[in-house]
Amino acid sequence: MGVLKVAGVSYLLLAAILLVCAQNGNNQSSEDDPRFDARVSELLAKNMLQLSQEIGTTILQDSDRPTEVFSPLSIYTALSILLMGANGQTFQELMGLLKINSDSYLSQNTWKVHEELSLMIDDLNGTIPHPGHRRRYQALWRNQNALHENRNQNQESLQQISVANGIFFQNGYSIRDDFRDAMQSAYQAHLQRLDFANKPDLSTKYINSWVNEKTQGKIKKILTNELPQSTKAIIASALYFKALWERTFYEAGTKPREFYPDGINRPPIMVDMMAIGGSYPFYDSKEYDCRIIALPYRKHLTTMYIIIPNKSTRHRLRQFQATLTADKIQEMISKMEWKTAIILFPKLHITNRIDLKMVLKRMGLRSLFSYDQSDLSLISTGVETPLSQNHFPGTLNNVDDRQFLFPRFDDVESRNATASTRNATHEAAKNNTNDAAKRERRSAVTYKATSSDTNAQREPLRLKDLVISKRITKSYPYIKLRSRLRRDIPTDPSLNLKRLDLLRTRLSSERYPNPGLFADELIHQIDLTVNEVGTEGGAATITTLNRSGPDILFRAETPFLFLIRHEDTKIPIFYGTVFEPTNF
C-alpha cells in the first residue's frame, strides 16, 4: 500500500496477506481477448520474479532476521501505479527498476504494461483464467498432472486471490482526470477523498479499516501512527490469498524435529515439522548445486516451490540467492518431473514488516523519495481548490465519523468525460430541476444567420434558413454535452491508458509545475500461515506411498528459499528466505 504526500512527511505503504484455505471463483467469457499479448505477459511475470530476486538479495545484505518474506505482486502493483503517474527522472528510474526499459516495444508503449498487468490480475483474481489467455507457456510437470490430481476436488474448494487498489487523497487537492480514468481502467481502483488536513485521525482510521477489510482482517493496522496533516495522497495495494494443499500433510506426522540454521554439523533448534508422502514435481539441479520441489495447491492453480542449496547454511543460502536469477528459476521449474517422495517441512507463521525505502534506493529508485527531485506530475497539477460544501458520506464497514468523506468517482460518465464537460453537465442537471431556469432557457432562443466571415453583409432570414440551414442557436449546453459524453466513451478499452502516455509526452516537452508529491517511506507488511491442511477445518485426503518406497527424501531442515506462484500467469505472489522457521 502506498502513501504519497506533498511537502512535510510522507509515507509509502504496501499491504499483502496470505492465509491458506479455499473459495470458489468466477467463470469468464470464452471469447478471445484482443488485448492479451502472451509475450508481454511472460515478460512481466519474469520481470516481477527478477525484481523479487534483487529485493531479496538487497535485503539480506544487512538483515539478520530469521525470515525475510514479501509479496512481489503487491510491491510490483504499487510501483506500477506510481509509474503510471510518474514523469522525468522518476519515470525513468521506475522503468529501470521494473525492467520495462529493457524491451523496446514497452519502452515506447508504457500503457501496455498497465493493460497486460490488469489482465494478469483479472486471471489471478478468478478461479478460471480467461480462455483467450491460455496461450501462456505452462510448466511440463503441470501438463503431466492428470494421474496425480485429487479426484475429490470441486469448484467450491479451490482458492481465493484478490488484489485491491485504492487512492485516497486530500479533499480539494487536484487529481488529474487522465490519471484517475487510467487508474480505474487498468486497476479498477477505489478513489476516495479524505480530509487529512483537518481530521488526520479519522483519515488514518479509514485507511486502516480499508486495508483490514481487503485483507480479510489479517492486517488490522498498516498505519501505526496518525497521518500528518500535510498528507496529500495515498496509493494503496492490498493482497489476500488463501488456498488448500492438493494433499494435506499427515496430522499425526507433525512433531518437533531438528532444524539446522548453520548446517548439519552445527547445533540445531527444535521446530514443528510436518510430514507427507506421495508424488511431487522435483528436480535435482546439478548445474546450480541445489534441489527444488513443488507443493501444489488445489487444482495446481498455485504452487509453493521450495529450493534448498546443497549443504545449506545461512551463509550458503545468502551466496546462493545472490547468484540466482528469474531465468535460472524458470529453467529448473521447466525440468521438474513427478517423483515419489517423503517430505518434511516446517510449519510457518510469518509476520513481516519491511522498510523498503533504503532497499529501493540502493536499487536505483532515488528521486521518488526526494521533494526536490520527485516527479509525479501525471497524478496531479499540485493546484488546490476550495473544499466542497456539498459532499456525501463515504462508506466502509466498521468506520464511524464519516461525515468528512467524499464520494467515489466510479460512474462511467465521470470516468470518460473531461473536467469541463462534467462541470457543465452538473450545472445543466441543476438547472433542469429548477422551473424558473426552464422558463429562462425557453425564452433564450435566438435567431441569427451565422457566417465565418464577420464582415459579410447579412441578408434577412427566410423560412428555409431556419428549417434547412438550421441557423438556430440555443442556450441549451446540456444537449451538446450529452452527445459529446456519448462520443467520449472509449471504444478502445486502452484509450484512457494511451491518453496518459500522450500527456506524459506533452508534459515532457513543456515547462510545467511539479506538484511536489514524494514518498518518504515505503513499508511492506505481510502475514503468512502455512500448516498441515492450509486452513482451519479443511478436509484431509490421505495419500499412500508406493510399496517400492519413495524416489527421494526431501527434508527442509536447513535454510531454504521458497516461492508461491500463480501457475497460469506465473505471477510470484510470495517470495522469501527462511533461516529459522517461525512456529505458531
Q: Which of 441, 472, 507 is the last residue of a domain?
A: 507
Position 252 confidence tier, pLDDT thresholds 50, 70, 90:
confident
Model pLDDT, residue 128: 62
Tell whether 148 and 53 lie within a shared domain. Answer: yes
Residues 364, 365, 369, 374: is their CA dihedral positive or negative? Answer: positive
Model pLDDT, residue 91: 96
Return the exposure string of 215-245: e unless at least 16 CB atoms fall within 10 Å of the residue's CB, then b. Answer: bbebbeebbeeebbbebbbbbbbbbbbbbbb
Return the ∠ at Cα 60 (arms to 58 and 61), rounded to 5°. Answer: 70
Would 569 be classed as within a structural domain? Answer: no
Q: Regarding predicted confidence, which is higher, 207 or 558? A: 558
Position 188 confidence tier, pLDDT thresholds 50, 70, 90:
confident
Highest mean pLDDT of the ranges 171-175, 229-233, 244-248, 524-528: 244-248
Highest mean pLDDT of the ranges 224-233, 362-371, 472-481, 537-546: 362-371
Statement: residue 343 has pLDDT above 90? yes
Tell whether 401 and 422 lie within a shared domain. Answer: no
Q: Is the CB of residue 196 less than 8 Å from the CB of residue 227?
A: yes
Tell whether 144 and 43 lie within a shared domain. Answer: yes
The residue whose grid cell reads 534441489 is 291
Model pLDDT, residue 548: 44
User: Is the entire prediction scored with pTM above 0.85?
Assistant: no
Model pLDDT, residue 393: 35
Q: Regarding predicted confidence, which is higher, 173 or 388? A: 173
Would 192 be classed as within a structural domain? Answer: yes
Statement: residue 250 has pLDDT above 80? yes
Cα–Cα distance for residue pair 581/348, rounded to 1 Å: 6
Model pLDDT, residue 420: 46
Tell whether 395 and 486 lie within a shared domain. Answer: no
Tally of CB atoms within 10 A around 2: 27
Q: Regarding predicted confidence, which is higher, 383 or 557? A: 557
Tell whether 162 and 55 lie within a shared domain. Answer: yes
Rounded to the nearest integer, the mean pLDDT of the chain is 75
The residue whose grid cell reads 480462455 is 131
Model pLDDT, residue 26: 40
Could you tell me what percent of the chain has a pLDDT over 70? Answer: 68
Tally DSSP H helices, then E strands, for the chain.
17, 19
Cα–Cα distance for residue pair 11/519, rounded to 1 Å: 5
Statement: residue 189 has pLDDT above 90? no
Position 560 confidence tier, pLDDT thresholds 50, 70, 90:
very high
Statement: residue 325 has pLDDT above 90? yes
Model pLDDT, residue 16: 37
Mean pLDDT of 558-575: 94
Q: How many domains does the chain have?
A: 2
Domain that holds residue 196: 2-244+351-411+513-524
Q: Is the CB of residue 14 less than 8 Å from the CB of residue 237?
A: yes
Would 285 be classed as within a structural domain? Answer: no
Would 145 be classed as within a structural domain? Answer: yes
Statement: residue 329 has pLDDT above 70? yes
CATH number at residue 90: 3.30.497.10
Could you tell me what percent of the chain has a pLDDT over 90? Answer: 35
- What is the three-state SS of 395-435? CCCCCCCCCCCECCCCCHHHHHCCHHHHHHHHHHHHHHCCH
Model pLDDT, residue 480: 43
Position 8 confidence tier, pLDDT thresholds 50, 70, 90:
very low
Highest mean pLDDT of the ranges 74-83, 165-174, 401-410, 477-486: 74-83
Model pLDDT, residue 385: 61
Q: Which amino acid is at 458?
A: R
Tell whether 355 and 503 lie within a shared domain. Answer: no
Q: Is the CB of residue 42 less than 8 Å from the CB of residue 136?
A: yes
Nearest to 181 by CA among 425, 379, 394, 386: 379
Tell whether 23 and 130 lie within a shared domain. Answer: yes
Cα–Cα distance for residue pair 378/478, rounded to 1 Å: 29
Tell whether 356 and 475 lie within a shared domain. Answer: no
Return the ∠ at Cα 298 (arms to 294 and 299), rounded to 5°. Answer: 95
Would 280 be classed as within a structural domain? Answer: no
Q: Is the CB of residue 101 less than 8 Å from the CB of residue 107?
A: yes
Would 321 be classed as within a structural domain? Answer: no
The residue whose grid cell reads 508529491 is 517
φ, ψ (nearest 5 deg) of residue 300: 60, 30
| Longest CA span, the chain | 107
Query: Quick check: helix, strand or coil at residue 339?
Result: strand
Tell whether 114 and 130 lie within a shared domain. Answer: yes
Model pLDDT, residue 123: 87
Query: Quick check: helix, strand or coil at residue 191?
Result: strand
Statement: residue 45 has pLDDT above 90? yes
Statement: residue 433 has pLDDT above 60? no
Q: Is the CB of residue 290 less than 8 Å from the CB of residue 308?
A: yes
Model pLDDT, residue 48: 96
Would 41 be classed as within a structural domain? Answer: yes
Kindly give the residue spans of alpha helices, DSSP state H, lying in 86-135: 88-97, 104-108, 111-125
φ, ψ (nearest 5 deg) of residue 433: -95, 5
**Environment class of 383 (CB within 10 Å of its CB; exposed 0-12, middle 13-18, buried 19+):** exposed
Model pLDDT, residue 80: 93
Tell whether 497 and 361 lie within a shared domain. Answer: no
Would 483 be classed as within a structural domain? Answer: yes
Position 579 confidence tier, pLDDT thresholds 50, 70, 90:
very high
**Environment class of 110 (CB within 10 Å of its CB; exposed 0-12, middle 13-18, buried 19+):** buried
Statement: residue 314 has pLDDT above 70? yes
Tell whether 49 and 154 lie within a shared domain. Answer: yes
Model pLDDT, residue 392: 30
Mean pLDDT of 430-435: 51
Statement: residue 215 has pLDDT above 80? yes
Tell whether 497 and 519 lie within a shared domain. Answer: no
Nearest to 566 by CA among 31, 124, 42: 124
